[in-house]
Structure 1
Amino acid sequence: MSSLIKAADLAAALDSSSPPLVLDVTWQLGGPPGIEAYRVAHIPGAHFVDLAAELSGPHTPGGAGGRHPMPEPAAFGASMRRLGIGPETDVVVYDGGPSVAAARAWWLLRYFGHDRVRVLDGGFAAWTAERHPVTDVVPEPAAPGAFVPRPGGMTRLDADETAALVAAGGVLLDARAAERFRGETEPIDAKAGHIPGAVSAPATEYTHADGRFHEPAELKEYFAARGAVHGARVAAYCGSGATAAHEVLALSLAGVPAALYAGSWSDWITDPERPVATGE
């Protein structure tokens, strides 16, 4: 199963006898709560998922795990069962923009053992651009699913494992904006810069202006230019792990399996002994 689905294909699937379960993961860093946009308009039948509350664990400012810590298996499992997910459930996730929040949901479901999940390419913007129907009607709660979290479906790294990957010649991609990578600005976290040995690969460079991913051949070329090829040890990180999940998704579309440093930069800098690099 492809990890992406086009808006037209989702519309057709929703009209079929076996429609997928659709999850709206609208979220914006520093913006209004996603539930507000969901209440105004969403894909008919979509259930809302809160990134901070359901796709992240409790956050302790300055604590290990980063700004969006991994959720505990029991808590994540309970949220997915509430949404109606079971072993045979086909899931489509989307958000309002370039699919960063949706990719977080995609990665977590796969990490916890559910691979029947796809991301709507281009998100809600692509859906509305093609004039598919929207609604403000909140669907009835889904019948509880039988989802059982089984960690390990995707490769997850901690800070020490990330440092070891770089030391061993692996490729560590930084999905943040290039100016944050260089340490010229840092609007969110307490320190500016990047993990030594990392390579800048901003998420905006492998997606179109409308948020859709480039074609697989283009993605393969883009990542190969940064040393990320099939057979290499590749990992991605960002500020808090969400955009890095988006990069792992892009890498998978290019045919390059990659690990995720889930805590990312906001976790790395909690230990003052960890080195920080700036510049190119």
Structure 2
Amino acid sequence: MPVSALITASELRSLLDEGANVRILDVRYRLGFTDGHEQYLAGHLPGAVFADLEAELAGHGAPSEGRHPLPSDDALQSAARRWGIGQGQTVVVYDDSRSLPASRAWWALRRAGVADVRVLDGGLSVWRAEGGAIEEGEVVPAPGDVVLVSPGSADILDTAQVDGWAGVLLDARAPERFRGESEPIDPVAGHIPGARNLPIAEVLTANGRFRSPSEIEAAFEVVGAGEEVPIAAYCGSGVTAAQLALAGALIGREVTVYPGSWSAWSNTTGRPIETGAVPIEVDPLEE
């Protein structure tokens, strides 16, 4: 039976009470802020190790690679061992930002062969609200012995490959950024030609938890990402796209991620750009 990509606060508490072999990662991160580690030190789930999205779950290169390119395979394995992940161990990841950074960790580790990675649905706020214990200070585990696979460029798209994508390309950004009405970060506003907009908010509830599988499936269907269609996703810098991949996993849809996303596309000379809304063709019999 496939392992669920999500875990509830009560399920995690039960695992911890049973003494299960679980490694918890705190992946708190907010764009434009550097206080994730400080927030972690002030209070985190018992035994949680801090995972730095900027330093450990992303690489750094030229603007044409995007703001959050993937780290090298070797760098990710070094980070995973620093986090104390053991071979075959269950990993639970969480944050306090609508599971966005945690989804990046889930996607990166799953792609690297960690079989049992789960995102704490609702994150730290739900854990606190349900009476979960909190610890302060740094947790420094013994180095782990996990052996990650080296996927390299498999199962992702680079900027050149996006042009030849044969399926549906989903843009997970907010509608105003997709339409090119607003662009607070990247040098050019708009979207990749042919992309369809599925804002990440469409698969989350108001309090940042994932919607039901039927609701997520309906959101995918509305933009033409049906069961038999290859799906790829991008966002601003490849983090929200990973969360859309997680949403896809919850309904059995494989979503290929373009890690460079709009930050890479808009910084690559000669790439075409569209603005405005994209009409979605709907079968009249389904209306």
Cα 1:137–1:36 shift into 2, 3 Å: closer
> Which of 253, 259, 275 is 1:256 aligned to?
253
Distance 2:241 2:138 in 1: 30
Residue in structure 1 matched with residue 224 of structure 2 by the alignment:
227
User: Residue 112 of structure 1 contacts residue 152 of structure 1 at CA under 8 Å; is this kept in 2?
Assistant: no
Residue in structure 1 matched with residue 46 of structure 2 by the alignment:
44
User: Residue 57 of structure 1 contacts residue 70 of structure 1 at CA under 8 Å; is this kept in 2?
Assistant: yes
Letter in 2 for 1:161: Q
SS in 2 for 1:2: coil
Identity rate of aligned residues, in percent?
Answer: 47
Residue in structure 1 matched with residue 267 of structure 2 by the alignment:
270
Return 145-154 or 16-25, whichever deviates more: 145-154
Distance 1:22 1:14 in 2: 10
Residue in structure 2 matched with residue 134 of structure 1 by the alignment:
134
User: Residue 112 of structure 1 contacts residue 153 of structure 1 at CA under 8 Å; is this kept in 2?
Assistant: no
Distance 2:141 2:265 in 1: 39
Distance 2:224 2:148 in 1: 36
Residue in structure 2 matched with residue 69 of structure 1 by the alignment:
69
Residue in structure 2 matched with residue 195 of structure 1 by the alignment:
192
Residue in structure 1 matched with residue 32 of structure 2 by the alignment:
30
Distance 1:128 1:66 in 2: 35
The superposition leaves residues 90-147 of structure 1 with CA deviations (integer Å, 9 ceiling, x where unpaired) of 1000011211100000010011111210101111111111121111132232343233
User: Residue 187 of structure 2 contacts residue 267 of structure 2 at CA under 8 Å; is this kept in 1?
Assistant: no
User: Residue 100 of structure 2 contacts residue 243 of structure 2 at CA under 8 Å; is this kept in 1?
Assistant: yes
SS in 1 for 2:252: coil
The superposition leaves residues 28-61 of structure 1 with CA deviations (integer Å, 9 ceiling, x where unpaired) of 011242101101111010000000000011244x
User: Residue 193 of structure 1 contacts residue 276 of structure 1 at CA under 8 Å; is this kept in 2?
Assistant: yes
Distance 2:115 2:213 in 1: 20
Letter in 2 for 1:57: G
User: Residue 23 of structure 2 contacts residue 89 of structure 2 at CA under 8 Å; is this kept in 1?
Assistant: yes
User: Residue 237 of structure 2 contacts residue 264 of structure 2 at CA under 8 Å; is this kept in 1?
Assistant: yes
| 1:246 has 2:248 as partner | no
Please list, as runs of the form range in 1=range in 2, the aligned pairs for 1:1-280 lying within 5 A after superposition. Answer: 1-60=3-62, 63-151=63-151, 155-165=155-165, 168=166, 170-280=167-277
User: Residue 91 of structure 2 contacts residue 117 of structure 2 at CA under 8 Å; is this kept in 1?
Assistant: yes
The superposition leaves residues 207-259 of structure 1 with CA deviations (integer Å, 9 ceiling, x where unpaired) of 01111000111111111111112220101100000000000100111221110
5+ residue gaps, structure 2, are 278-287
SS in 2 for 1:172: strand
User: Residue 113 of structure 1 contacts residue 153 of structure 1 at CA under 8 Å; is this kept in 2?
Assistant: no
The superposition leaves residues 183-226 of structure 1 with CA deviations (integer Å, 9 ceiling, x where unpaired) of 10101111110001111111112101111000111111111111
Cα 1:154–1:214 shift into 2, 3 Å: farther
Cα 1:130–1:154 shift into 2, 3 Å: farther
Report the Cα offset of residue 27 of structure 1: 0.3
5+ residue gaps, structure 1, are none
Distance 1:52 1:72 in 2: 13
- Taking structure 1 as the reference length, the TM-score comes to 0.94
Distance 2:118 2:101 in 1: 13
Segments of 4+ moved more than 3 angstroms? none
Distance 2:148 2:200 in 1: 31
Letter in 2 for 1:123: G
Report the Cα offset of residue 161 of structure 1: 1.6
